[in-house]
Every structure is written in C-alpha cells, then in structure tokens.
Amino acid sequence: HQSDMTTHPAHKSAPKHTLLHLVLNLLIFASASSQAASFVPHNEPPPSPSVQQFIDRVQTSPRSEVKMRAWTCHGRTQKEMVDKLASAGIIKHKPTQEAMIKVDRANYAGGRSGAYVDSPQPIGYGQTISAPHMHAHALEELMPTLQKAALEHPDDELRILDVGCGSGYLTACFGRLVDRGPKGPILPAKGRVYGIDAWSELVDFSRANMMKEDSDLFDSGTVSLQYGDGWEGLPDAGPFNAIHVGAAAATFPKSLMRQLAVGGIMVIPVGPVGGVQSLYKVEKVKDSPKFDEGDYVIKNLLGVRYVPLFHP
C-alpha cells in the first residue's frame, strides 16, 4: 500500500546528532513490539472476510495525498520534534501543532531518553506508545471535524473518545484542544475527553503520566480515564464528535461506529494480528435506528502496524 511513499529520504550530509538519533531510533524500534503503532508502506492483498462487508464502499486515498516523511522527525526537545513534523508536512493544522507542543512526550514515554525520537516505544503489557508521526496523523484526520463542530456549535461541548489510551499522551493532547480549565481550549469550544483501556495497569500508567504536568486536565473535568472494553466504547458518554482507536481491530467495531455523532469521525486501524493492517477514517453521515452500513463513509488512509485491540 502506498509503495511510492518514502519513509527514509536520503540526506546529503547527515550531522552527527542526526546519525545518533537514527541509531537510537533503530535500537528502540527493535526493542518494541513487532506490531508497534507506526506507519509502514505495503502492497495490500485482498481484504480479509471480516472486513469484506465494508470494503466495497471504502475510498482509497490518492497516493499524492500521503507523502509522510515518517521516522525522520527527531528532535532534542518536544518543540523541535513537533516543528519537524510540521516542516515535513505531517502536521498541517496549527491546533495539532500547538497541542502536541503543550504535551511533553517525555512524561509519557518513560523518560527523556528516546522521548523525542520519531518511533514507537514499549510501555509494558505488550503495548506501545505510538510513534509521534502517527499521533500527529491521527490528530490531523480528526481536526477538520472538530474545528467544524466547534465553529458551528461553540456553546456545545465537544466529546472525544480515546480507545486504548495506553500511555495517555494522545488523550492529553485531545484534552488541550478542548481544555475546560483556566488555560482555555485551543479550539473555539470546550469539551470532554474520555480515555479507556482494557488494561487497568495502563489506565493507572496514563493517570500517573498525566499527573506529572497535565494534572489540570483532571482538575477541570476535561479528561477522565477508566477501565473499559475498547470494542464496546462508552455509549452513555456519547455521541462523540471524534473517536480515536489506538489498537488494530480485526474488523470495524459496530458499537463504536454507532457512538459517533452525525458528522463525527473515527480513526481506526483494522486488520489481523501480524498481517496487513490499514488506518481507516470512518465518517457518520446519518443516523438510523439500527446499525446500517449506509450511515457511514469509510476511507482507507494508509498502511500501518498496530498492536491488537484487546478483548478483556
């Protein structure tokens, strides 16, 4: 999939610190799960039967739309790393850039060693913190619908669900976008972010990480974290303007799709464990009393490699 995409562009004369970053990148990636959350180009085989019911309606992104210089956006600081993601064209919206700068990845990746390297890293329990370029890509895909909802209904709360909150990093970024506290939201409207994970230990890990420098998101009621089944979501807290799924589902979870608000977007990796996976954007265009495939427009974004969405 997207076989013409360059993930390791050549450099004429790489400075020493860049070479060190690349070596560190390779070491960290080798220690991470072989299905870490990251971009990976591949030639896509026929879809599995579990996704066949949707595949005829899937739109595939033109190759020209996705020219990510993934794996290369290393920095010495959070800001330098995020600015490189913007310079590479991975980040296009200012709110994405601002949110990622405000949330220090070092607080969520187990320390500063390797925190600003553009690669996934293990966080325990067979899970990883996604590569920064994947966090940026997820935020970018969700940003237009969040901006539209905030501008059209500034007095309504935005609602965001982060399935598989893991380290808590992306959950905190969502929180900064809709911050209900004194600092105020980056977007034109405030909101609430719900992070869930099927590993209670990772819920505790997310909470501990967020308490380091982003505890105000708890104090303001912007972010809540809890144990939960990612396949089922949080129907009582919806409908959601945006849903992010941080692990690969074997097929499209109908329960999560139902929890989208009309006009809402879900970004989700779908595919078998150890097999070909793709990142999809699912938009809900209308709402029927019962689940109806016709209520959704599904777009295949790019090839990825994620840990599996766990059934508790």
CA nearest to 130, candidates 51, 229, 244, 12: 244
Closest C-alpha among 183, 208, 180 to residue 192: 180
Question: Of 87, 86, 84, 104, which Cα lies nearest the Cα of 95?
Answer: 86
- Beta strand 277-284 with 296-305: parallel, antiparallel or unpaired? antiparallel
Q: Backbone phi, then psi, for 300, in 5-degree steps?
A: -85, 120
C-alpha–C-alpha distance, residues 147 and 131, integer Å: 24
| Cβ proximity of 271 and 90 under 8 Å | no
Coil, helix or strand at residue 33: coil
Both structure tokens of 162: 């982060």
Of 298, 248, 302, nearest in space to 272 by CA: 248
Give how far the C-alpha of residue 239 lies from the chain's centroid of Cα atoms, to the nearest Å: 19
**Cα–Cα distance between 157 and 176 in angstroms, integer?**
14
What distance, in Å, lies between the first and last C-alpha atoms of the chain?
A: 31
Tell which residue, 105, 112, 142, 88, has the closest CA to residue 24. Answer: 112
Residue tagged active-site, from 38, 119, 130, 206:
130
H or E segment and range at residue 196:
strand 191-197
3 belongs to the catalytic site: no
Catalytic positions, please?
130
